């Protein structure tokens, strides 16, 4: 068997072990509860990220707005991912403002922002978190490494304490996303 295969899966197991031992599982539970409370009260969850993290933000939103484990009513979750919108704001206000402008337009007090950045330092994600806080939204951050700037401005940080390549962090992020969806469905007694 190719060493790349065995090394990748061994390293993934190590990152999961470190993550689980870090206390982050309590933060996953807190985030799922916060999202459940927001959705039960008629609020929404908005998610954002760049590159693979945007794909994760979209995956999260579709799991809640469409379905996760079973058929149920749709939940108010959206990812900031419309390319026309992103390029419009990027052109007119700069790439650093693509997510914060959306939060200003569509975020409401009591909503939740799921801000995803493996470094915790993506400026456009950081600005989205600041805009969300300014209007009274809760901010849940999925981060890696040392949490970056997001660690200090979010309400709940779910950090994968890994300094290596970001793909390992993203692998844990997707497990967290699936767990959040399951918590929401269970708490709202939807499935």
Instruction: Determine how many CB atoms are found less than 10 A away from the CB of residue 31.
Output: 26
What whole-number distance in Å separates Cα of residue 148 and Cα of residue 1? Answer: 37
Domain containing residue 146: 3-187
- Judge whether residue 191 has pLDDT over 80: no
Strands lying side by side in the sheet with 138-144: 77-79, 45-48, 112-116, 138-144, 156-160
Q: Total structural domains in the chain?
A: 1
Question: What is the pTM (predicted TM-score) of this model?
Answer: 0.97
pLDDT of residue 138: 98
Tell me the CA distances in angstroms from 2 to 14, 75, 160, one per residue in order.
Answer: 19, 43, 27
pLDDT value at 190 more than 90: no
Question: What phi and psi, each to the nearest 5 degrees, are found at residue 158?
Answer: -115, 100
| CATH number of residue 27's parent domain | 3.40.50.10490
Is residue 150 very low, low, confident or very high in pLDDT (cuts 50, 70, 90)? very high
Q: What is the mean pLDDT of residues 78-87?
A: 98
Give residue 52's Cα distance to chain centre. 11
pLDDT band at 1 (very low <50, low <70, confident <90, very high): confident
**90-141: pLDDT as tens digits:** 999 999 999 999 999 999 999 999 999 999 999 999 999 999 999 999 999 9
Three-state DSSP state, 191:
coil
| Residue-level pLDDT at 70 | 86
Task: Tell me the C-alpha distance between 68 and 77, whole Å.
Answer: 13
Alpha-carbon distances, residue 17 vs 86, 104, 164, 165, 169 (angstroms): 37, 38, 15, 16, 12
The Cα 111–Cα 105 span in angstroms is 13
pLDDT at 92: 98
What gap in Å lies between CA 24 and CA 144, rounded to an integer? 11
pLDDT for 153? 97
* Residue-wise pLDDT tens digits, 24-73: 999 999 999 999 999 999 999 999 999 999 999 999 999 999 999 989 99
């Amino acid at each position: 068997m190719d060493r790349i295969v065995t090394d990748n899966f061994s390293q993934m197991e190590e990152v999961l072990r470190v993550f689980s031992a870090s206390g982050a599982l309590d933060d996953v539970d807190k985030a799922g509860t916060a999202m459940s409370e927001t959705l039960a009260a008629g609020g929404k969850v908005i998610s954002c990220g760049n590159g693979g993290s945007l794909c994760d933000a979209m995956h999260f939103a579709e799991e809640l707005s469409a379905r996760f484990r079973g058929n149920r009513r749709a939940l108010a979750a959206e990812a900031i991912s419309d390319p026309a919108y992103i390029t419009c704001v990027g052109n007119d206000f700069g790439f650093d403002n693509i997510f914060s402008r959306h939060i200003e337009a569509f975020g409401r007090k009591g909503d939740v922002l799921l801000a995803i950045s493996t470094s915790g330092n993506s400026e456009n994600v950081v600005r989205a978190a600041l805009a969300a806080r300014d209007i009274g939204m809760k901010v849940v951050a999925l981060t890696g490494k040392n949490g970056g700037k997001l660690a200090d401005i979010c309400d709940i940080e779910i950090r994968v304490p890994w300094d290596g390549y970001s793909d390992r962090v993203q692998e844990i992020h997707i497990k967290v996303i699936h767990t959040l969806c399951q918590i929401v469905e269970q708490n709202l007694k939807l499935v």
